A and B are shown apart, each in its own frame.
Chain A
Amino acid sequence: FDISLLRVEIMGENSNNILRDIPEAPEDAIFGISAAYKADTSPDKVNLGVGAYRNDAGEPVVLKVVREAEIRLVHDESLRKEYLPIDGLPQFRTLSAQLLLGKDSAPLREGRVAIAQALSGTGALRVGMELIRRFFPEGTRVVSSNPTWGNHKAIVERSGLAYSTYRYYDPATRGLNLGGMLEDLHALPAGTVVILHAVAHNPTGVDPSREGWDQILAVVRERQLVAFLDCAYQGFGSGCLEKDAYAIRLFAESGVPTLVAQSYSKNMGLYSERVGTITVVCPTAASAAAVQSQLKKVIRPMYSNPPRNGAYIVATILGDPQLLTGWRDELAAMAERVLAMRKALYDHLQKLGTPGSWEHILNQAGMFTFTGLSPAQVESVTKNFHIYLLKSGRINMCGLNSSNIAYVAKAFDDAVRKIPASM
């Protein structure tokens, strides 16, 4: 007699089993690739999937300044584990705002900036979208680039807002379709929220030039749109924090309504600590205070208050001149390694005489490159060479290193020659 059967029967009949017939969710595309890579037993396998930094030995890296900050925190007996305020660690918020907007920022000086600690970039976007849904007119739409990070659509729709895209990537040039982008933005109704990648566009690596940004700002201003900058790679684009903040500061100073989602996952390597910020640049100090209070109202029923550890690490580093310098150096080194890999991949493909143009590898910026490989070519590379990348052809440059770059180049060469491109 199996009592567990009896239990299920009793519950089955009159129970309102909400769990019956729940379909299995499709695997998340990006994390699914990591899973497949893990399961692969080939000694030659290469993971060019998820966006996390790797050093030349293919190892994940914890920054020296982060280790140093961790040690200081562990030994600080005065630190407890109390709840942070709903909007996060105060010094973390202040220092993050300065990092994004610059110490001389007019909005900061004028007290017009609402900023809350968030669960990294995802959490920042989610809270920002929730705020927009509550206070913007009914029917407000959010647009993002085509293509964009897969989670943008999910976050926007999860927040109950309509989502669509604007032209961005030009497959022909593997660069920016600025004209198409400006046209699409120009056609948007006033009040549309435009997600813009502040630097190191994910997944394409294609960023507007400074002139391009000026033109984008002009359209946003003229058409009374709202700018929501997604900043997940400050410092990873050029290696310089200030340079990479150009677009953010341009919009923040412009008077155009601006939100910023910031993440420390990549540039401080704090991926799993989930640390970032949501910033809203407001026209007056009074409206900033009101917005701050409403940000808290969104957060409290989501998770009450944010996790401490990551915020303390960031605040420790940003607040200590020596650690801050150390961070700049380590960040520059990471960015330089990526640039070196771009050059190396390009050189290898040139040497192999791989058909097609590969300049875009040099022109694109940040952690990712949109190779231009078709889904079929990607499949071939994965199946025959155990190289894992997204179906879109996106590769994480950090997955490349001096030991595997020749191998990867060969694989791309093989796929491009064997399989006709449908680009």
Chain B
Amino acid sequence: RRPGRGQGMAAMLRGAERLAAQRLGARAASWWGHVEAAPKDPILGVTEKFLADPNPEKMNLGVGAYRDDDGQPVVLDCVREAERRICNNKFMEYLPMGGLKPFVDESLKLAYGDDSAELAEGRVAAIQSLSGTGSCRVMADFMHRFKPDAKIYITVPTWANHHNIWRDANVEQDTFRYYHPETRGLDFEGMVEDMKAAPSGSFFLLHACAHNPTGVDPTLEQWKEISQVMKDKGHFAFFDMAYQGFASGDFERDAASIKTFLDDGHLIGCSQSFAKNMGMYGQRIGAFSLVCADKNEAAAVESQMKRLARPTYSNPPVHGALLAHTVLADAELKKQWYAEVKGMADRIIDMRSALRSELEKLGSPHSWNHVTDQIGMFAFTGLSPEQVDKMYEHSIYLTRNGRISMAGVNTKNVKRLAECIHSVTTA
């Protein structure tokens, strides 16, 4: 049926508009049409799976965030107190590009020691950073800018995001042996061999304590040897320290690897995170530092660190820095903090014992010594990806490399966890 004249025109115009819109849509679609959905982040994707699971007995042993014995996230008392002190008290003007200096100074004392000669001599260039990730990224960007031919050597295995960080910074990466699957301990010989084989002046990413994901740390003696080997080869040591205090419960002890290297005269780099040890995951608070030959060099280096910050975020967020500084700069609060961290570390150590003992009680044919030998928040169980998938069927969520966050284990669920591990490893 033919429409009347007016209707015909309108219909024609609408038709024309639609066609134009379609063409436009097609053109516009071509800008993003080729963008494929990215695979889920292996670690944070586990949490998503966990959240989607309706099973009331589900366990999240994925992300490394501390939980108390009731499985609840914890805000440290010293941090709550700090919050009360700063609430309604602060102005919110931009921090300098390098962040809150008093915070950075306190943070450096933790890593390098209160009596550090390097600090006293003003030789440490440092900025506030966006937690551990942000620190590592600035290090990677710094390498790319000032040592574009350098390669970063990364442990096998390591925190998955390490690879992403150096890749996105366009720095060539290689690996060095670290974990020994057979012993579920350190492959010290392999590590030293690889360090000796690497070209002089290579960059090595070391976990200062509580290696993620394996929980396997060198002994102090081994650290001393590693330091010598690296000195002989003129290698650069970059320490990722995300768990100071969390490994042994003692801050000084957990930084012993760094101290060893400093005593041996290495000019190191260090990434510090307060996500775990201050429970300030979401605040994104950390520090990035480089030990320099002298004060002048430190000043130049620090200025270049800030220059890397400016086009990424201009200046860092204030909240976490104020909280951390409040705790670190107050003797009472700092003491309280040390005690709270020790409490967290001790609970994890207890859970390691409990898990191992439950598995042994079940008569597991495998050895579970590694559960108590390993240190820090994570245990590298040795479960294969297929066994991990079976754990998902039990509503127990861990990353597919077999890493479990011991922080997610408590007196209420350790038995069920042991039973499920036993079940998937004896099938």
Contact = CB atoms under 8 A, between A and B. Distances in A.
Contacts of B201: 15-16
B234 A301 contact: no
A23 B300 contact: yes
Contacts of A308: 282-283, 319
B293 A17 contact: yes
A122 B94 contact: no
Contacts of A18: 143, 146-147, 150, 236
A70 interface: yes
A81 B282 contact: yes
Interface in A8-35: 8, 10-12, 14-20, 22-25, 28, 31
Interface in B68-98: 73-75, 79, 83-84, 87-88, 90-97
B295 to A, nearest CB: 12
Contact of B29 (A8, A155, A287): A287
A4 B200 contact: no
Interface residues of A, number: 87
A154 B314 CA distance: 11
A304 interface: yes
For chain B, the bracket of interface size reads 35 or more
Residue of A7, A62, A135 ringed by the most chain B CB atoms within 10 A:
A7
Contacts, number: 258
A307 B319 contact: yes
Given A20-B293, A31-B96, A284-B29, A303 B133 contact: yes
Interface in A271-324: 271-274, 280, 282-284, 287, 289-291, 293-294, 296-298, 300-310
A74 interface: yes
A304 to B, nearest CB: 4
Interface of B: 21, 24-25, 27-29, 31-38, 40-41, 44, 63, 65, 73-75, 79, 83-84, 87-88, 90-97, 117, 121, 130-131, 133-134, 137, 143, 146-147, 150, 161, 164-165, 167-169, 200-202, 231-232, 234-236, 265-267, 275, 279-284, 290, 292-294, 297, 299-301, 303-304, 306-307, 310-320
26 contacts: A7-B265, A10-B231, A11-B265, A15-B267, A16-B235, A17-B267, A18-B236, A19-B146, A20-B293, A25-B300, A52-B94, A66-B92, A70-B87, A81-B79, A119-B314, A122-B313, A135-B35, A157-B311, A271-B94, A274-B315, A274-B316, A274-B317, A287-B29, A289-B37, A302-B168, A310-B317
Given A256-B28, A301-B168, A303-B137, 16 more contacts: A6-B265, A15-B236, A20-B297, A24-B299, A28-B97, A62-B91, A81-B281, A83-B275, A221-B24, A272-B95, A273-B92, A296-B38, A300-B133, A301-B167, A301-B169, A310-B319
